[in-house]
Amino acid sequence: MQQSRFKILFLPRWYPSKIDPMPGLFIERHAKVASRFASVTVLAIIPSREMSEIEIEKEDNLLTLRYYFKLGQTEFRFVNKLLNQLRWWSALLKGYRMVRREMNGFDMLHVNVLTRLGLFALLIHCIENIPYVITEHWTRYINGSFKGALRIAVTRLVVRKAQKVSTVTDNLWKAMQTYGIANANHMVLQNVVDDAFFNFHNISDESIIPSPGRFVHISCFTDRSKNISGLLRVLSRLSASNVDFECILVGDGEDWERMKLYAESLDLRYPKVQFKGLLTGNPLVQVMHSASFLVLFSNYENMPVVINEAFAVGIPVIATDTGGINEQVKEWNGCLVSVQDEDALYSAILSFLKRSPEFDPEKLKRYAACWFSSDAVENQLKSLYGLQ
């Protein structure tokens, strides 16, 4: 008799949806990798200003239920907050009953991003004796936005009762421990790099020719965290020094239009600075393959997956020494600069444009395959679930 597949329920705070395809892409990739060896269900509760509906997708061993609930839109803010909490919990309970019935129960719950979903997993554990694991991604423990005595107390309890806890960096776990959050069973779970980044040579469209003077910045375009304005000021200095370069900025977000206007005010124009907007899949791989390095100038981070992706296509990284970035970016694969140090960033970019230091693309690719490929992360997930 064939043994039934291990059944996992993913409970993500962030997940791609038709409202926004970007949040939680790294969680979706973990779910897809887990579905290689288990039956995976994703229950994503998504707030919406427009609709209240259920969306179900089935792909091989991955079942995804997106439960959209309508946000409160009264003229009273405290009423809206109360309505939103009640509607969120109602959607979560209804969605859980639906997927539990469809899958005939679960062997494991996988919480992605605390705290409410962790509390829900703890309640299910107490009622149905289903173990749960946690993967935390949030930078709030690093940037000081994790506040509230009750929230901290509940988070401590939820983490302590988990079977195992994972974070994408040791730095994030150490930051959580400063709040008294602890669990003896902790591991680092790397973000997955999509297979397309390792197979970029199979892309047929060669409309973008690789250039040694071209580099790329990829982010969610939130200036307070990504410090795109600081990067643009450095690019302005490079331009004024008559340095030959092209910087391609990829992404979309709340400050995208403002950053475009800021670039114009600094007289940064095409082709030196190119705003490409949101790119995914092969177009993103192609742009990264055409560049000679990646630049991030963030004020705070956890561990951006674009760094892993840069290594996968064989290009080095210039990034700020914040969060867990220094766990991956070393002298042999990139360069670290201090947060908001525009002089250091200017010097680093100038050095890279002169192709000094030299980097081995094949070594970068091998490193990425060893740690961030689907095969590598599959083994890490099995370890998280206690399956090896």
Same-domain pairing of 271 and 259: yes
Three-state SS at 162: coil
Taking the C-alpha atoms of residue 12 and residue 99, their distance in angstroms, rounded to an integer, is 14
Crossing angle (nearest 10°) for helices 374-384 and 25-34: 80
Do residue 216 and residue 89 come from a single domain? no
Contact present, 11 and 40 (Cβ < 8 Å): no
Q: Are residues 234 and 358 in the same domain?
A: yes
Burial of 195 (0-12, 13-18, 19+ CB in 10 A): exposed
**Domain co-membership, 199 together with 254:** yes
Give yes or no: residues 214 and 91 share one domain.
Answer: no
pLDDT band at 201 (very low <50, low <70, confident <90, very high): low
What digits encode the pLDDT tens for the residues 278-327? 998 889 999 999 999 999 999 999 899 999 999 999 999 999 999 999 99
Per-residue pLDDT of 213-222, as tens digits, reads: 999 999 999 9
Q: Is 183 helix (H, G, I), strand (E, B) or coil?
A: coil
Q: What is the CATH number of the domain that holds 28?
A: 3.40.50.2000
Q: Would 1 be classed as within a structural domain?
A: no
The average pLDDT across 46-60 equals: 92
> For strand 53-59 and strand 246-250, is the pairing parallel, antiparallel, or unpaired?
unpaired
* C-alpha–C-alpha distance, residues 383 and 31, integer Å: 15
**Which domain does 143 fall in, by range?**
6-192+373-384
Alpha helix segments (H runs only) across 204-268: 223-226, 228-240, 256-265
Statement to judge: residues 257 and 310 lie in one domain: yes
Separation of alpha carbons 119 and 96, rounded Å = 14
| Confidence check: pLDDT of 1 > 50 | no
| Shared-domain flag, residues 243 and 318 | yes
Residue 178 forms part of a structural domain: yes
In this structure, is residue 213 part of a structural domain?
Answer: yes
Helix (H) or strand (E) holding 306: helix 305-312
Mean residue pLDDT of the chain comes to 94
Q: Taking the CB of residue 370, how many other CB atoms lie within 10 A of it?
A: 10
Q: Is residue 100 in a domain?
A: yes
Per-residue pLDDT tens digits for 221-265: 999 999 999 999 999 999 999 999 999 999 999 999 999 999 999
State yes or no: pLDDT of 203 exceeds 70.
Answer: no
Give 359-382 pLDDT, tens digit per residue: 999 999 999 999 999 999 999 999
Quick one: 45 and 166 in the same domain? yes
Same structural domain for residues 81 and 132?
yes
- Residues 119 and 188 placed together within one structural domain of the fold: yes
pLDDT digits (tens, 9 = 90+) for 270-292: 999 999 999 988 899 999 999 99
Q: For a pLDDT cut of 90, what percent of the chain falls above it?
A: 88
Strands 317-320 and 334-337: parallel
With contact defined as beta carbons under 8 Å apart, do 86 and 64 qualify?
Answer: no
Q: DSSP secondary structure string, 331-381?
A: TTTEEEE-TT-HHHHHHHHHHHHTT-S---HHHHHHHHHHHHSHHHHHHHH
Percentage with pLDDT > 70 across the chain: 97
In angstroms, the CA 90 to CA 87 distance is 5
Let me know whether 287 and 230 are in one domain: yes
The mean pLDDT of 125-132, rounded to a whole number, is: 98
Domain count, the chain: 2
pLDDT tops 90 at residue 355: no
Q: Are 381 and 187 in contact (CB under 8 A)?
A: no
Q: Is residue 98 part of a domain?
A: yes
Same domain, 160 and 208: no
